[in-house]
Amino acid sequence: MRHRSVTYPAARNAEATFQALADPTRRAVLDLLRRGSQPAGQIAEVFPVSRPAISKHLRLLRRVHLVSEHREGRNRVYQLNPEPLRAVDSWIEQYRSFWSTNLGNLKAFVEAEYAREIESASVKSTRRKAK
């Protein structure tokens, strides 16, 4: 019997967003667009790859709704769309809370153990001096 995974539309969207964010060039494009809208040609000038390669990256980013595009004369101008990133952030927030709690507990445990070791060493030192 073949195993099939269950997919949900929201999960599919999130997966596509994560796949888009996995590429360092696409992340760099998004970082560039944080500063404001830019024409495709201006975006392409920043990268050491060909314009067609940047166009493919922009097309994929547009397909997953991380950027929007509009025309100004002959130029295609791209703008960051933060909405899919908010969805990613809310997903990551669950893990951020988890790790904050667990790291806080670990810190308290390590500090308590360290205090016990210091106290134990102090007691041993006092006993040696008394002899």
CATH code, domain with 25: 1.10.10.10
Where in the sequence is the domain holding 88, given as residue range(s)?
83-131
- Cα end-to-end distance, the chain, whole Å: 76
pLDDT in tens, 67-125: 999 999 999 999 999 999 888 888 888 888 888 888 888 999 999 999 998 888 877 77
pLDDT of residue 77: 97
Which one-letter amino acid corresponds to residue 37?
Answer: S
Do 71 and 34 share a structural domain? Answer: yes
pLDDT of residue 12: 66
Q: What is the mean pLDDT of the chain?
A: 87
pLDDT of residue 14: 81
pLDDT of residue 75: 94
pLDDT of residue 6: 52
Cα(57)–Cα(23) distance, rounded to whole angstroms?
A: 9
| pLDDT above 70 for 5 | no
Do 65 and 38 share a structural domain? Answer: yes
Task: Please give the tally of structural domains in the chain.
Answer: 2
Cα(125)–Cα(129) distance, rounded to whole angstroms?
A: 6
Do 39 and 62 share a structural domain? Answer: yes
Cα(49)–Cα(62) distance, rounded to whole angstroms?
A: 19
Do 92 and 61 share a structural domain? Answer: no
Look-up: residue for tokens 């670990």?
A: 106
